[in-house]
A and B are shown apart, each in its own frame.
Chain A
């Protein structure tokens, strides 16, 4: 059922943009956290948002997920302007943000976590059987096969598996845009691999993924598009094939790169 919504979203958009930020600005007192940021996020693609510490990545995420309203500019969802007054507004549109803490309850099992807040009921009681089957189905679609039992508590899972559960939870809630904040920051090699594969699977289902990451290995591995923030301004955005590692580093550290075109041609 989530597949149909996701494909529906992509077909609705002639211009191929699910979410668009137009001239978004955000101030905190005298501090200009974001200055007229323009950013496009297409469905079914992985958009990486890069930037050094303090470049405005967190502010951007929090603006999109409705935690902070922008001081200027417009947010367009499927081409229509929307105003987000809280996380619930963003969620209602189909925007799910997975923060680094993952927001999982360690004492609950995988199924219980995936349905938290959206439990299925039967005769006013929890319909465990039906929830377990849907959860199993979703995990299978996402190729998450490493958990021994979906009835084990989340506390017993590895970091990568926990990340998978958080993603599966987003998929269950029919998310069309999944924002992932540093999903691989605390993970080992094998688990990073697993999460990156999961991100690709997610995009292949038609979901727009926004990946916030410092790790350029990860970015170049999964991203279809790359956007770089520098001191609250959008330094560049475009298809990942237009950039290479050194040009992105240039953008992250100085906001410009003389090497872009040459590097893009060379690649």
Chain B
């Protein structure tokens, strides 16, 4: 234990316990730095103190990503003055949606300390099935098409997950086989469809699948949605806090909660101002938030709920950290793991849906290998650990935006695809190095 960590902070007041149980032990060698500041702080000031302590100890949370993001944005803005225009930023958001969703897919495997290398082509298979189901001659309604594609992805995840858990095979090998196998499956699907000329299926431009990325909410609707979301968010946070405080349970300081709500509000307003700016070049107004933004928000919100508020999520984290402890606690480790691989593949399918909507068509040119790397990079850059037990949908969001900035910025600069590949490789290695360094620092303590 580091001596600096044994700060003489007050023992958490236990309502109803009285002053009688003052600890008789000198057992205060608690590693304050590795504890989330919400847990220990009783006031806003203490919160920031604890936060500073954490950063000093290498547990810096989202800070390096945000700093990194600012550096990347400044760099590209200097290189290309068109980077920070509403038009480009909305385009960047649309690109980010794909990376974010791939990152969320990778997250499910990474939480369990596993890997899924197949997600790029799982997405390809899902996207082709969706495109074919909604196009002639099958012409299913769009929602049935999406459901069909995602269900197929779920089956792929189930097969991989079952092989990994029931036969105890390494996920690296199984999903590497999946990577090749699903590429083949995708080509078979493309060849089987007579409408896929040259391996390309063009989406119907009036259909919701195309419109997901390519159509916008009206500015007014955007504001209404934002206000409703913020109101619900603030009410939930404050009510939950009040309920816990009334029961004498530990809560974050009110000031911190209000700051968080304020930060969410500022972020939302800035996002909406950018999206609602006129980015058309003609007389007619062209603007509004692409539908994919609320779509991604809903999916990530659902995953956040699933991971933090349900048994399934709790067990995923437990298995990621200590599968033996989970097994002894009576958790069906194999089933939870298989479910995680299903979630991973279905999320990849959603990423495939966004990808094809963004492209306006689905083509066998999809680079599943590169997308897997972007997926893992997005998750890890955001703060998901490669060593299991740690990862949040928020990480995928932050990481996906970083990747999209690099991708978009290099595109604006006219860097060749070879250059983009090299740059993304560097970003991935940098992210993994960061993860490893933080971990080593945590162990050394």
- Write the residues of chain A forming the contact surface with B, with a CB cutoff of 8 angstroms: 87-88, 91, 101, 103-109, 112, 116-119, 121, 124-126, 129, 132-133, 136, 140, 143, 145-153, 155-158, 160-161, 190-191, 193-194
Contacts and interface: CB of A to CB of B under 8 A. Distances in A.
Interface string B3-37: 00000010110100100011101111111101110
B331 A129 contact: no
A155 B38 CA distance: 16
Contacts of A150: 250
Contacts of A125: 309-310
A137 B420 CA distance: 57
Contact of B21 (A126, A132, A145, A155): A145
B442 to A, nearest CB: 8
A254 to B, nearest CB: 37
A258 to B, nearest CB: 41
Nearest to B389: A107
B35 A107 contact: no
Interface stretch (B257-265, B273-281, B322-330): B322-330
Interface stretch (B126-134, B202-210, B241-249, B295-303): B241-249
Contacts of B389: 105-107
Contacts of A112: 314, 318
Nearest to B320: A107
11 contacts: A104-B325, A107-B389, A116-B314, A116-B331, A129-B243, A129-B247, A148-B9, A148-B11, A148-B35, A149-B35, A152-B35
A146 B320 contact: no
Q: Which 5 A-B pairs have the closest CB atoms?
A: A117-B329, A103-B325, A146-B27, A107-B389, A105-B321
B40 A152 contact: yes
B12 A133 contact: no
A105 B31 contact: no
Interface in B316-375: 317-318, 320-322, 324-326, 328-331
A133 B309 contact: no
A103 B40 CA distance: 25
Given A107-B317, A109-B39, A117-B329, 19 more contacts: A106-B389, A107-B389, A108-B314, A116-B325, A118-B330, A129-B247, A132-B250, A133-B247, A143-B21, A146-B25, A148-B9, A148-B40, A152-B35, A152-B36, A152-B39, A153-B34, A153-B36, A158-B29, A190-B27
B8 to A, nearest CB: 11
B211 interface: no
A146 B317 contact: no
A105 B325 contact: yes
A107 B321 contact: yes
B192 interface: no
Contacts of B17: 140
Contacts of B310: 124-126
Contacts of A146: 23, 25, 27-28
B314 to A, nearest CB: 6
Chain B contact-residue range equals: 35 or more
A117 B330 CA distance: 6
B1 interface: yes
A121 B309 CA distance: 10
A194 B39 contact: no
Contacts of A155: 31, 34
A193 B25 CA distance: 9
B319 to A, nearest CB: 9
Contacts of A103: 322, 324-325, 328-329
Given A117-B329, A126-B314, A156 B324 contact: no
A105 B14 contact: no
Given A105-B321, A151-B250, A194 B243 contact: no
Contacts of B247: 129, 133
B27 A88 contact: no
Given A121-B311, A145-B21, A148-B12, A105 B30 contact: no
Contacts of A117: 326, 329-331
B317 A105 contact: yes
Contact of B27 (A116, A136, A149, A161): A161
A119 B21 contact: no
Nearest to A164: B27
A158 B30 contact: yes
Contact of A126 (B26, B243, B311, B318): B311
Contact of A148 (B26, B30, B325): B30
B280 to A, nearest CB: 45
A16 to B, nearest CB: 30
B311 A105 contact: no
Contacts of A121: 311
Interface string B377-399: 00000000000011000000000
Interface string B132-172: 00000000000000000000000000000000000000000
Contacts of B26: 190
A190 B25 CA distance: 7
Q: Which of A101, A118, A156 is packed against the most chain B CB atoms within 10 Å?
A: A156
Interface in B27-60: 27-32, 34-36, 38-40
A136 B325 contact: no
Contacts of A118: 329-330
B34 A156 contact: yes
B23 A105 contact: no
B244 A88 contact: no
Contacts of B250: 132, 149-151
Contacts of B314: 108, 112, 116, 119, 126
Given A107-B390, A129-B243, A194-B27, A116 B40 contact: no
A5 B182 CA distance: 56
Contacts of A133: 247, 249
Contacts of B1: 158
